[in-house]
Amino acid sequence: MSTDRIYLDWNATAKLLPEARAAVLEAMDLAGNPSSVHREGRAARAAIDKARRQVGELVGAAGEHVVFTSGATEAANAVLTPDFRMGRSPVRLGGLYVSAIEHPAVHEGGRFPAEMRHEIPVSADGVVRLDALEQLLAGHKAEAGLPMVAIMLVNSETGIVQPVAEAAKIVHAHGGLLVVDAVQAAGRIPVSPEALDVDFLIVSSHKIGGPKGVGALVSRGETLMPAPLVRGGGHEKGHRSGTENIAGIIGFGAAAAFAADGFDERNARIAALRERLETGMRKAAPDVVIYGENTERVANTCAFTLPGLKAETGQIAFDLEGIALSAGSACSSGKVGESHVLKAMGRDPRLGALRISLGWSTTQEDIDRAIDAFAKIAGRRKLSDAAA
């Protein structure tokens, strides 16, 4: 058996693409500040504008509607605010309605005070309840300001696709704004602000094979925009100040171009690998619980619970077998705790869930080794039960 480690934690961060690495290294030689008007500055600006178009093309948006940030967390904090501007005129939002399964960067509400935040429940299958959203917005006091709703397109822990387009109809019927975390969706399913009828999208570089430390807030237009989170020199058309991370942005653009090219073939291959994985897991342990298996999911994600095995114990066991996977979502500085996603689904969060996520370099050999490790760990669990 190979002693090479197997990486199956792509939802936490994707491996850096060779194309993105090459773009970053090339960008290191761009000497100019993109705000400078001399030739070197214009060259840096042109490279950023190319990346802006590439990211826009990946998510079906115009490049000029892409605002680069230090990552998805900053993008979330930038857009989740009661303070908006329509041109130079202030616009006040009156409340934030967030699904119970959001990533903490969104679930914690950004710049909205606690008293203005409301949670949208989900079904036992982990899907946002549209009836509850309708009821919440029907009770929103219009005189307080416009409502804002935040619903992720793909859940980071389960891979379950959320009914964003249907939610958009409800939100806009109540005069609200819809913010969508598309971090786990970009490059895996079609994404478009127009097609989904959403007002803002959040995307991240390192989830699609680009460098860490760069993301973007993508708007439907530029008429209504949040008050800047980072102020100063008026960069990014005044929406996000600070000299741009040229190397990171150009690497992000290269990764976006890769993700947009060969999309269908790559996802079909990954879907077949996940099917092989889950078939092997069920054969080794028929009692395994696979979350969202009867619900629409992205092709690369398998979240599961093995009864009798704690998530953190399972994660360590797989690591010792040479396989990197996740206990839920890697979003809390390495902490392993109860899953708020499982809790929202009505599951016992103390059990926890393990998450296997696949990516562009995952092979059939990787999957077969993961199945072998799973069978070994499941077998040890049974032996422990018998001994007890």
Instruction: Give the DSSP per-residue string, 211-255.
Output: -SS-EEEEES-SSEEEPPSS-SS-TGGGTS-S---HHHHHHHHHH
Summarised one tens digit per residue, pLDDT across range 65-122 is 999 999 999 999 999 999 999 988 999 999 999 999 999 999 999 999 999 999 999 9
- What kind and span of H or E run contains 362? none
Helical ranges in 103-188 per DSSP H: 104-107, 130-138, 164-173
For range 222-229, the mean pLDDT: 91
* Maximum separation of any 2 CA atoms in the chain, in Å: 75
For range 340-355, the mean pLDDT: 84
What pLDDT was estimated at residue 362?
98
Summarised one tens digit per residue, pLDDT across range 166-197 is 999 999 999 999 999 999 999 999 999 999 99
Summarised one tens digit per residue, pLDDT across range 292-302 is 999 999 999 99
What DSSP designation does 153 have? S
**CA-to-CA distance for 57 and 208, rounded, in angstroms?**
14
Residue 386: pLDDT band by 50, 70, 90 thresholds? very low
Active-site pick, 130, 331, 336, 351: 331
Residue 302: active-site member: no
**CA-to-CA distance for 282 and 265, rounded, in angstroms?**
26
Asked whether the predicted pLDDT for residue 256 surpasses 70, the reply is: yes
Q: Considering the entire predicted model, what is its pTM? A: 0.93
What pLDDT was estimated at residue 347?
84
Q: Three-state secondary structure along 285-337? A: CCCCEECCCCCCECCCEEEEECCCCCHHHHHHHHHHCCEECECCCCCCCCCCC
Helix (H, G, I), strand (E, B) or coil at 112: coil
> The tokens of 183 are what?
């971090």
Average pLDDT, the chain: 93
Q: Which residue has the higher pLDDT, 187 or 384?
A: 187
pLDDT over 70 for what percent of the chain?
94
pLDDT over 90 for what percent of the chain?
84
What pLDDT was estimated at residue 67?
97
30 half-sphere exposure, CB direction, 13 A CA radius: 28
For range 31-36, the mean pLDDT: 91
Summarised one tens digit per residue, pLDDT across range 311-338 is 889 999 999 999 999 986 444 445 556 7
